[in-house]
Amino acid sequence: MSMAFRCFLMVVIMGILGCNQSVSEAASRQAVSSEGLVFDPIELDMGEVLEGEQAKAVLLIRNNSKGFIQIAKVESSCGCTTAEPETHLLASGQFTPLHITVDTFGKLGNVRKSITLTDGKGKMIKAWLSLHVKHNPHVMGEGKRSIFDGKCASCHFEPAQGKTTGKAVYDAVCMMCHGENGTGGYAPSIRGKYEEDAFKQLVANGTGTSHMPGFAKKNKGPLSQMQIDALARWMLSLDNSI
């Protein structure tokens, strides 16, 4: 074997080893980032799904400590998202799948959710989910379901209870879709686009879709007329500051 060929062979071997090392380091980076329980991955893209369908995915939870750890609580950022681990007690180095389901009713476009896990000692970790919900024409005509019902009520109905100021009402049931101070989020911006009376009508009666139903109590929504009035005054004050 010539010296030139041996040098060539050594370069190839080192390249393969270097590549394998990079892949190994990338795969284990999250697991060695901290002690205790860790998510793998901490950012999960769930892809595209039609509105009204259930998006499902699996995250892994790993015990990165030297002893047993108990999963005490798993919470999602919204009632539409459920997350269930297969086991709640993990030995050192053990994995368990976390089964995630997102109900996409009343959602469109890019959606982002979070999962928070608390262990037996109170330590918390968080993972993020993203998905893109596509328009489903078969959902729009149903009219039997509302974002104020079932698990959706925990985000779109219950938080409004007892809120009296416009900002408090907005932060409770509007900000999750329309963004901070009405500047836009999953739903369009509502800053500087409506007169006060028109805005009240929009909030009270909605747009006739499942994405923006009427929020007034007369439409089975969570808001009283006093709350709608306060919300409109607050939003108009922001419009006047533009």
CATH code of the domain covering residue 114: 2.60.40.10
Tokens of 240: 């006047």
Alpha-helical (H) ranges within 64-207 are 137-140, 153-156, 166-173, 175-178, 196-205
Tokens of 135: 């328009």
Q: What percent of the chain has pLDDT over 70?
A: 82
Same domain, 100 and 48: yes
Tokens of 36: 């205790």
pLDDT of residue 189: 86
Q: Which tops the pLDDT comparison, 13 or 166? A: 166
pLDDT of residue 143: 54
Q: Which tops the pLDDT comparison, 85 or 7? A: 85
Q: What is the CATH number of the domain that holds 173?
A: 1.10.760.10
Q: Could you count the other beta carbons within 10 Å of the beta carbon of residue 117? A: 22
Domain end, chosen from 87, 110, 138, is at 138
Q: Are 48 and 131 in contact (CB under 8 A)?
A: yes
pLDDT of residue 26: 39
Alpha-carbon gap, residue 147 to 156, rounded angstroms: 6
Conformational region of residue 64, where left means phi above 0, alpha means psi within -120 to 50, and beta covers everything else: alpha
Task: Write the pLDDT tens digit of every residue in 191-204.
Answer: 888 899 999 999 99
Conformational region of residue 7, where left means phi above 0, alpha means psi within -120 to 50, and beta covers everything else: alpha
Q: Could you count the other beta carbons within 10 Å of the beta carbon of residue 132? A: 16
Q: Which tops the pLDDT comparison, 102 or 240? A: 102
pLDDT of residue 241: 63
Task: Please report whether residue 27 resides in a domain.
Answer: no
Task: Write the pLDDT tens digit of every residue in 1-43.
Answer: 455 444 444 443 444 444 444 433 433 444 444 689 999 999 9
Task: Please report whether residue 3 resides in a domain.
Answer: no
pLDDT of residue 193: 84
pLDDT of residue 74: 96
Alpha-carbon gap, residue 53 to 75, rounded angstroms: 21
Full domain range(s) for residue 203: 144-240
Task: Please report whether residue 26 resides in a domain.
Answer: no
Q: Which tops the pLDDT comparison, 64 or 26? A: 64
